[in-house]
Every structure is written in structure tokens, then in C-alpha cells.
């Protein structure tokens, strides 16, 4: 269990990380929720960043690239793979 969860000002370190990601323009965060990411996931719930839960780390690594290749066309159920 991590005991040093707060910085000198009393703010969660996870909140600082999420704020930094949001300021950098991050829109989606992929990950496997578990003991080490619970505080990050909780901070993401309060932010504009969308949390995308995956079952395996490998899927989380490839998901952002796949999302950048897919464009939704006309209807929400119709997908178009863009050529890169």
C-alpha cells in the first residue's frame, strides 16, 4: 500500500498526472484497472478524458492506433477504415 499519496500542497499525485495529460490534449486513456491505477482511474472520472478499460495490456497498447484509423461515417454503426 502506498502511503505517500499527497504532495506538499495536499493534492493527489494522480490528479496532477491527469491534469497534465488533459493540458497536453489527451482525449482517451486506455488501461487495465488494478491496484496501481485505481487512483488514476478515480481522477480520470473527474476529468474530460475518457477512460477506456481493456482486459489486457497488449490491447491497451494497440487500441489508440486502431482508434486513429477508424472513422465513423453517416450512421453510428457504420465504420470506415481509413488508408494510412
CA distance 10 to 7: 5
Q: What would the pLDDT profile of 15-71 be if each residue is shown by its tens digit?
A: 999 999 999 999 888 888 787 788 888 999 999 999 888 888 888 888 887 777 776
- In sequence order, what DSSP letters do the residues of 13-28 get, joined into one string? HHHHHHHHHHHTT--E
The predicted pLDDT at position 72 comes to 56
The predicted pLDDT at position 33 comes to 79
CA distance 33 to 42: 10
- Under CATH, domain 13-81 is a member of which superfamily? Thiamin diphosphate (ThDP)-binding fold, Pyr/PP domains (3.40.50.970)
What are the E-state strand segments in the chain? 28-31, 50-53, 70-72, 79-81
Answer yes or no: pTM beyond 0.85.
no
The predicted pLDDT at position 3 comes to 45
The predicted pLDDT at position 4 comes to 46
User: Any idea where the domains of the chain sit in the sequence?
Assistant: 13-81
Amino acid at each position: 500500500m502506498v502511503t505517500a499519496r499527497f504532495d506538499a500542497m495536499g493534492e493527489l499525485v494522480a490528479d496532477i498526472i491527469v491534469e497534465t495529460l488533459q493540458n497536453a490534449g489527451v482525449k482517451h486513456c486506455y488501461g487495465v484497472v488494478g491496484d496501481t491505477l485505481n487512483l488514476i482511474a478515480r481522477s480520470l472520472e473527474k476529468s474530460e478524458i475518457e477512460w477506456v478499460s481493456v482486459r489486457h495490456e497488449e490491447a491497451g497498447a494497440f487500441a489508440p492506433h486502431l482508434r486513429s484509423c477508424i472513422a465513423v461515417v453517416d450512421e453510428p454503426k457504420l465504420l470506415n477504415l481509413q488508408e494510412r
